[in-house]
Amino acid sequence: MFILTPLRDSRIGLLWGAQLLSATGAEFYMVAVIWIASGLIGGDAGYVSALQSGALLAGSLFAGVLTDRWRHGTTMVGASLFRASLLLLLAAASGFGFMSLPLLAVIAGLVALATSVYDPALQATLPVLAPGTAVRHAVNGLFDATRRMARILGPSLIALVNGLVPIGQFFAITAGAFLLSAFGVKAALRDIEGPAPEQRKGWASAIDAVIGGGRAVRHHRLMHFGLAADFIGNVTWSMGVLLGMALYLRANSPNPLTAYGLMMSAYGAGNLAANLVLAGFTPRRPLLWLVISKLTFGLGVLLMPFAPNIAALMACAALAAVNGPFENLALLHIIQHDFPPQRIAQVYRLQMCAVFGGSLAGYLAAPTLFAAFGLTPVIATLGAITLATGLVGLVLRRHLA
């Protein structure tokens, strides 16, 4: 099915537009946090990002105790409004000159907690909007594309407004995107009857909300590999790309923020191009998709710090970006087709634990490793380890199929 076909459904179109706004705003937010924190404390900025990842990990583990009792639409709207209010506070702090590291860290942690409840609610809603297999895969591709498009739109806009808008006001731009997104979600889901909220109470329900995803995947070997690969890839993404390349460009580029924005724009372009192609194909061999994701990402990151100019760096980023749609669409296919509807949000939260656990480990280790070995060797080694993960998947393919 053509990837744009599901947009004929006004509900899917509204929700997709809301998600694109949210994702694009999040790109502004991500760059602003990293840039302000690295300006305040240099390489130790990894600890601020680690706090965000820790909050995301905690939310992924425990938020289901509450959110499994709510309608998914309510969760998504509430999370968007909460994030918008927090970011307006940061924008005001920057505008009036009382931005501080403790304030940035606390609000970053709270925004991360809200994000950890928004994403599983969205993923649990999509099968309700698109119950058929072919339509569901196209919808997965559409919504996966929002992040890819945001990685083009966000950094491109950053490069455009850099010098015109103070970086602290990137938070206000993000807040506006979250507010508009909340209205879009509300309009899209107003007539949708999603899965009934969890009605059980007591410790049994709370425990199941926390460990239900682990119970569901305990005999699923392919999902085990997918989670491990996701963890390793996000160590590399956080330490090597988001923080490592930001610090590398600060030290080596005459216009580091513009260079970083162009690199991330190229990454977004590679993401989107791969997404548009892969959304037309059902991942009948999801292990192969996972292997390709690690090979391309690892090679791209390995080459990034050796790029002789901006054009070569953008090419490396575009190559690395191919990994995202291969990995995410394969994992979404597994989650939506191999697990019952009441477990989808729980298994997706488990995947989020792998993502944010990897990011947390990467950010915590970054200051020590960068100080001990230098930026270029660490970034290149992370790329090599990720590449090796794909090769391991090939070796073990008969055991994982």
Residue-wise pLDDT for 332-353, tens only, equals 888 888 888 777 777 888 888 8
Q: How many CB atoms lie within 10 A of CB 40?
A: 14
Nearest Cα neighbor of 86 from 57, 58, 41, 52 is 52
When the pLDDT of each residue in the chain is averaged and rounded to a whole number, the result is 81
Nearest Cα neighbor of 143 from 282, 338, 4, 294 is 4
Residue 133 pLDDT > 70, yes or no? no
Nearest Cα neighbor of 379 from 314, 301, 320, 317 is 301
The reported pLDDT for the residue numbered 236 is: 96
Q: Among 29-33, 134-138, 185-189, 375-379, name the most confident range.
A: 375-379
Coil, strand or helix: which one is 23? helix
Lowest mean pLDDT among 114-128, 205-219, 335-349, 361-375: 205-219
d(CA 39, CA 60): 30
Residue 151 pLDDT > 80, yes or no? no
d(CA 250, CA 39): 10
Token look-up 């537009």 returns 17
Name beta bridge partners: 162: 165
Q: How many CA atoms, within 13 angstroms, populate the side-chain half-sphere of residue 397?
A: 12
Reported as a single tens digit per residue, the pLDDT across 56-74 is 777 776 665 555 666 777 8
DSSP-assigned letter for residue 162: B
- Report whether 232 contacts 291 (CB < 8 A): no
Token look-up 């939260």 returns 349
Task: Name the packing angle between helices 245-252 and 10-41 (round to 10°).
Answer: 50
Sequence-distant (6+) residues with CB within 8 A of 261 are 31, 155, 156, 158, 159, 162
pTM of structure: 0.72
Q: What backbone phi and psi angles, to 5 degrees, belong to 162?
A: -60, 125
Coil, strand or helix: which one is 165? strand
Residue 40 pLDDT > 80, yes or no? no
